[in-house]
Chain A
């Protein structure tokens, strides 16, 4: 067992790689009642074309399968695993993203037992045609729920606009139609290919003893000797750097129009500290250009061009990266023009003092976030899977320069990489606009 200490904030993380390839991180939090654990596999909605373990030919699986598999992991021959967690006083959950599937629990008692339950239920698949069929109704309702969510539709519409071939353009849960094709056999194939310990990571944060917890995991994994680690071969088609569609407008039953202005960014395939630098520099750039301390924000908010829903973000994964700016607004086109103007005019005049103040805010925010075991576990996993440890944040913030930031956001200026997604209220027949 090794450890990394961030002395400035008094946190230490212990880690070890098990003989079967599983990476384990443990971070004790003194004074906390809660322990939060997440068991994550490097497998998400974009992994739809791959060579299954033990096979020679690549296959394409139905859309939404990673998410479907996540749902079905909770059902066992003896019943629903939620029942067991509840009985042991743990609140359990799971989520699937573009690139990952995570299973988690939080508990204040019986942590060892709950940890074993987490490990074992994710390690013991049980799928039958009957249980797979039954799940389709539940997931269909989940998909329809998202279909009624304008913010989700706006976000996904922008992604569809950006990508022509990359599977990030497919909704994580798939469609009501695509999930009908999923079979128990598909689930086993995906499970065996992607849930190999070498493709997975366990994070435990909270009121625990690192030595004892690591020993528990070691014992659990000893019983799980596997075929040696393998790198899953995944396939993606070549994706152009320009956006697929410049603009899309849909109608929904909403009060106020909504716009998402998205920027297709170079997918860096960076790892380690370079990855973190790229991510932080881009986010800082967005703050300096569009954040609450900018003249852009001040003017646009004052005019009512943006409102409290105004938001921006940057997503950075190995095979895709994008920035997006969104708001409810009665004038989507005008907001887009204003954003473009801001990018073109201000990129080179970003202020050094603003930058220094921003770095100070970011470091403070980061330290405050360490209050939360959930933040630590989720973010540690995110960064570790990209080859860098969460604790390097402060260091990287201190090392970044304003030029790094400008370089990181410069691709946003390219109009061919910009796209606009708009949701309009329904046009009421017979009523004045």
Chain B
């Protein structure tokens, strides 16, 4: 799907020439083991890098240059994968043929270069006002989770299940760590990222591989670095708990977490995906059909399989007064799958929608990069069909087998009213 270009040790470049889109898209991804201080610094950095550069020293000047490049976009953000913390730059521009301007691609790449190679730094420190402002923004973003009750409840569930582990820690670090970010420490972290992190670059669009490679090499003179080994996730069982917390709210947010110790590298992984789909991934799934449609207990109800961390999460918005009934009904759906109470039609539907999901994901430049990034190690010649074949081969018995590995650990209810 992507053509891998030999670049340098610790730097991987993947290019996909295609005329499917009207754009050229580039993703850069720096990766380092998750640590709170580092996460906090990089969260602030992701705001600071897309604010200004040496050449465009104000946000206004920086944004106007993007406008001049025909509304190109450039976003930086931080994410997590397994125990790793990732700094991601995503930039997109209209293909130059559509705007009739030669040299547009070079100008766009030059802007990306400005952003990551020539930031707004003086004497070993980022611009102090920018850092102050963006540090505040990231702290407030952490605080704002409280305002979204569903997200808040999900966050609490993960904290209860895996306290102190990467899965339950914020990609932005902690408030305390964020407050320690200074213009100098931020620059130190920036240099470490640029010089030492494993870097992946993806490009999708109507480009010629050889010439875009030359252009990117010229724009981004990164040198080899030690290819760091990925830190493996260690799976473990957690404590069994039932926790109720109160806020002033109308609905109850019921979130239930299961230990589901089958990760991406496990050969039973496709069966685990099918099992999650049967339970709560889709509108035909057991949770939706039985808890919502049959019992009218919820509007929103679904399950999510965090395969990187071996967890299965179920979330539902319910009437808190009926939480015992909701827990019973949800548990019954899990048990039905564990017992093998699975109709051939449900298997067919789930496999069809998994297939639809992966094919659809590949209809966007970003989707192509993200999906390939997830699967490239397992499938160097990745195609949607290869994944679909694996799902198609999954039997009911294999689904029952993986579902029996699920163990309920935490039932968390966030609700209105007062503690009795």
Contact = CB atoms under 8 A, between A and B. Distances in A.
Given A31-B20, A109-B355, A360-B71, 8 more contacts: A138-B296, A138-B298, A145-B251, A148-B249, A255-B144, A293-B60, A363-B70, A368-B22
A318 interface: no
Given A33-B360, A254-B147, A360-B71, A87 B352 contact: yes
22 contacts: A82-B284, A83-B345, A83-B349, A91-B353, A109-B352, A109-B355, A137-B297, A141-B299, A253-B247, A255-B144, A256-B143, A256-B144, A293-B64, A295-B60, A297-B59, A357-B64, A357-B68, A361-B66, A361-B70, A361-B71, A363-B99, A364-B93
B383 to A, nearest CB: 12
Contacts of B93: 364
A249 to B, nearest CB: 16
B292 interface: yes
A33 B362 contact: yes
Given A33-B363, A361-B70, A89 B59 contact: no
B223 interface: no
Interface string B306-331: 00000000000111000000000000
Given A308-B137, A308-B140, A361 B67 contact: yes
- What range describes how many residues of A lie at the interface? 35 or more
A314 B292 CA distance: 35
Interface in A362-399: 362-365, 367-368, 370-373
Interface string A147-163: 11110000000000000
B230 to A, nearest CB: 31
A298 interface: yes
A144 B251 contact: yes
Interface string B294-308: 001111100000000
A363 B247 contact: no
Contacts of B288: 82
Contacts of B362: 33
A367 B94 CA distance: 7
A255 B356 contact: no
B140 A307 contact: yes
B283 to A, nearest CB: 4
Nearest to B18: A31
B405 to A, nearest CB: 25
A238 interface: no
A95 interface: no
Given A33-B362, A86-B352, A307-B137, A370 B67 contact: no
B370 to A, nearest CB: 15
A386 to B, nearest CB: 24
B58 interface: yes
Top 8 closest A-B pairs, CB basis?
A364-B71, A137-B296, A364-B70, A89-B352, A361-B71, A86-B349, A31-B20, A142-B299
A328 interface: yes
A89 B144 contact: no
Interface string A335-366: 00000000000000000001001101111110
B79 interface: no
A302 interface: yes
B141 interface: yes
Contact of B250 (A90, A144, A354): A144
- What range describes how many residues of B lie at the interface? 35 or more
Contacts of B137: 307-308
Given A89-B353, A292-B63, A368-B22, A34 B94 contact: no
Contact of A309 (B144, B317, B318): B144
Interface string A126-151: 00000000111111011011011110
B133 interface: yes
Interface of A: 8-10, 30-34, 80, 82-83, 85-92, 106-109, 134-139, 141-142, 144-145, 147-150, 252-256, 292-295, 297-298, 301-302, 304, 307-309, 328, 354, 357-358, 360-365, 367-368, 370-373, 426
B129 interface: yes
B317 A145 contact: yes
A139 B299 contact: yes
A136 B296 contact: yes
Contacts of A256: 140, 143-144, 147
A259 to B, nearest CB: 14
B59 A87 contact: no
B7 interface: no
Contacts of A88: 352
Chain B CB within 10 Å — which of A34, A80, A361 has the most? A361
B60 A294 contact: yes
A148 B67 CA distance: 37
B289 interface: yes
A302 B67 CA distance: 22
Contacts of A360: 67-68, 70-71
A253 B148 CA distance: 10
Chain B CB within 10 Å — which of A10, A148, A373 has the most? A148
Interface string B167-205: 000000000000000000000000000000000000000
B99 A364 contact: yes
B251 A80 contact: no
A357 B359 contact: no
B201 to A, nearest CB: 20
A365 B63 CA distance: 14
Contact of A253 (B21, B143, B249, B363): B249
A33 B360 CA distance: 7
B362 to A, nearest CB: 6
B397 interface: no
B257 interface: no
B226 interface: no
Given A34-B363, A148-B251, A365 B356 contact: no
A152 to B, nearest CB: 11
A138 B319 CA distance: 10
Interface string B59-89: 1100110111111110000000000000000
Given A80-B289, A86-B353, A109-B356, A255 B146 contact: yes
Contacts of B66: 361
Nearest to B301: A141
Contact of B319 (A87, A106, A141, A147): A141
A220 to B, nearest CB: 23
Contacts of B136: 304
A107 B298 CA distance: 27
Contacts of B349: 83, 86-87
A87 B343 CA distance: 12
Nearest to A369: B22
Contact of A135 (B249, B296, B356): B296
Contacts of A34: 359-360, 363
A87 B348 contact: yes
B268 to A, nearest CB: 23
A8 B100 CA distance: 10
Contacts of A367: 22-23, 70, 94, 98-99
Contacts of A148: 149, 249-251
A239 B92 CA distance: 44
A310 B252 CA distance: 28
